[in-house]
Amino acid sequence: MNGLGDAPDVVFDGPASAMAAAVATLADWDFCMVGGLAVMVRVGGEHRATTDLDVVFDNETDTPTTASLVRAGVAVDAAGVQRVTVGGVSLDVIDTFALPDDLDALPESPKDRLFVTAHRWAYETATTCRLISNQTRFEARVASAAALVTTKAHALRWATANRRATKRSSDLYDLYRLADVLPASVVEPLRGAPWNLARQVADALSEDLADLGQAAALLRSSPSPNIAAVEPNDFGDVVGDLIEALVSSPNHGD
């Protein structure tokens, strides 16, 4: 599926431009963008600081994509599992593969099930977008707004202690922006998503954001001006409406 249509180019000429340039380096590889940079593409431009790039590959082999990228001279090995650097940019690589339709064949734990299904759906439903970095135009496949909400739901609900300490406000902000700017592009696709993703996302967000006021307060204390500018009532209304819509969706029941 090609998502170009009449959509405008997304320009990165600020702090995120180096990461966008790293995406161009991977032009010959089959992947899609997820994470903060992908959110910025979907909402129309840079809205917060981000320092790493998250990408999803289709990989049915036993060889990690990170090893293939290093062997091809595209990337340099980096510390950490599934992590390399491309042009000095840290790249988190997520390998996915085709999944069965049968829910009973998927991982039993909610954490693992949402991780594998969210990232596979991100890869399968990604569309091509036009980007500009340092006046260089290129195309890249980017996860849909709905798929980005599924990956953010996982990141929020099952964040490591380090991620919760360093990235929680940006994860909350990304979720808010996607739901606020692109509500129809989030809810309706999730209603028809496979693997009961609407229910998985609703459950993860309901559990993690039981206190929307507390989450909004965290945003207000952020050192990022854009994140701190979010009004608590706006955050509560937007995210609360998203959770309610997913809970009431046809996919929510077993």
Report how far Cα 245 is from the mean position of its chain's Cα atoms: 20
Among 5-9, 53-57, 139-143, 199-203, the range scoring the smallest mean pLDDT is 5-9
pLDDT of 5 = 46
pLDDT of 1 = 38
Q: Residues near 47 by Cβ (< 8 Å), separated by ≥ 6?
A: 39, 40, 173, 177, 226
147: in domain: yes
Q: Residue 4 — very low, low, confident or very high, per pLDDT cuts 50/70/90?
A: low
CB 78 within 8 A of CB 44: no
What's the domain range around 206? Answer: 10-248
Output the average pLDDT for the chain: 91
**What is the model's pTM?**
0.93
4: in domain: no
Predicted confidence (pLDDT) at residue 141 exceeds the cutoff of 50: yes
CATH number, position 225 = 3.30.460.40
253: in domain: no
121: in domain: yes
H or E element at residue 136: strand 136-142
Tokens representing 174 are: 């990304």
Into how many domains does the chain fold? 1
